Structure 1
Amino acid sequence: MKDRFTFPAILVPEEAGGFVVSFPDFPEALTSGGDLEEALALAEDCLAEAVAGHIDDGEEIPVPSESAADHSIVLPAHIALKASLYLTMREARVNKIALAKMMDVNEKEVRRMLDPHHGTRLQTMERALKALGKRIHVQVA
């Protein structure tokens, strides 16, 4: 089974040195780095911001394509958890108010859980996903 939050990235060498990084699944996401290490590090940040933008804008988060890309970029864990909650809510057709009622919390707390730039405790994310019938499964590679 393909990882839901590992996306293909295409690296193109620049004439002056370094690499431009693009994502087939996120045409709006583009970054570059002075060397391969920097390009890959910035690619992770760029991917995280692209996913955060989709969450903020209420847009679908694409399933990673089977692109023959140079590299695969893994979404940072805290963003992957928020994206998982977001996708689970969309799939279940549960809005923020409904989830807040299910969890017996203020709707503002659910908004924070979905905010990619807000540091939400792992236990809170587990509780929210459990309320939706899901659980977190951790895999370290």
Structure 2
Amino acid sequence: MNACYPAVFEPQQPSGYVVQFLDLEEAFTQGETIDECIFNGAEVLTTLLEIYLEDGREIPRPSENVKDAYHIAPDARIQSALLIRWVRGDRSLAKIARALETSWPAAQRLEDPHHWPSLKQLDKMASVLGKKLVLSFE
């Protein structure tokens, strides 16, 4: 499971590209180069998903195997909050807090897009949710 969203880059005249995320129609940006588009795309994706998380909105999962798309991830704090929310599903935070042997507010912070959880917290949360924490650099 990952939080990389597919985006298409439409060439523009006289130069540059418009970036549109396929699963989040409100998320779009532009750039002169592919690298600039990826950077700008990550920024707009991070901002939009942060707003969704803060508002408690439903967040669509990224489409998979989209041909000719660039897959762009939000920043790490948004990824962790989003992945925890998806994996937790309908389980209550109170139940998760008990399993983590912590308070409800401490468990809630793990889904807070402004909180930077430690690797220890993420690993424990993954274990409680029956998952394994996997890290990668891309």
TM-score (norm 2): 0.81
**Take 2:6 and 2:132, find their aligned partners in 1: how far apart are those partners?**
26
Structure 1 match to 2:99: 102
**Residue type of the alignment partner of 1:89:** R
- SS of match in other structure, 2:15: coil
Structure 2 match to 1:124: 121
**Residue type of the alignment partner of 1:120:** P
- SS of match in other structure, 1:26: coil
Stretches of structure 1 lacking an aligned partner (at least 5 in a row): none
Structure 2 match to 1:5: 3
* Cα distance change, pair 70–60 in 1 and its aligned pair in 2 (3 A): closer
Please report how far the alpha carbon of residue 16 of structure 1 lies from its aligned counterpart in structure 2 after TM superposition. Answer: 5.0
**Residue type of the alignment partner of 2:20:** S
- SS of match in other structure, 2:114: coil
Structure 2 match to 1:47: 45
The answer (yes or no) to whether the contact 2:50–2:113 under 8 Å persists in 1 is yes
**Take 1:43 and 1:69, find their aligned partners in 2: how far apart are those partners?**
16
* Cα distance change, pair 115–40 in 1 and its aligned pair in 2 (3 A): same
Between 1:53-62 and 1:27-36, the stretch displaced more is 53-62
Between 1:23-32 and 1:47-56, the stretch displaced more is 47-56
Between 1:121-130 and 1:45-54, the stretch displaced more is 45-54
Aligned CA-pair RMSD:
2.3
* Cα distance change, pair 63–33 in 1 and its aligned pair in 2 (3 A): closer
* Cα distance change, pair 69–48 in 1 and its aligned pair in 2 (3 A): farther
User: For 1:88-131, what per-residue CA distance to the aligned partner results, in whole angstroms no more than 9, with x for missing partners?
Assistant: 111xx212222112212222112221012221212111112212
**Take 1:63 and 1:46, find their aligned partners in 2: how far apart are those partners?**
15
Q: Percent sequence identity over matched residues?
A: 20
| Aligned residue runs from structure 1 range 1-141, under 5 A | 4-56=2-54, 57-90=56-89, 93-141=90-138
User: For 1:57-76, what per-residue CA distance to the aligned partner results, in whole angstroms no more than 9, with x for missing partners?
Assistant: 24143142433234222344
The answer (yes or no) to whether the contact 2:123–2:133 under 8 Å persists in 1 is yes
**Take 1:28 and 1:86, find their aligned partners in 2: how far apart are those partners?**
21
TM-score (norm 1): 0.80
Please report how far the alpha carbon of residue 4 of structure 1 lies from its aligned counterpart in structure 2 after TM superposition. Answer: 3.1
Please report how far the alpha carbon of residue 38 of structure 1 lies from its aligned counterpart in structure 2 after TM superposition. Answer: 1.6
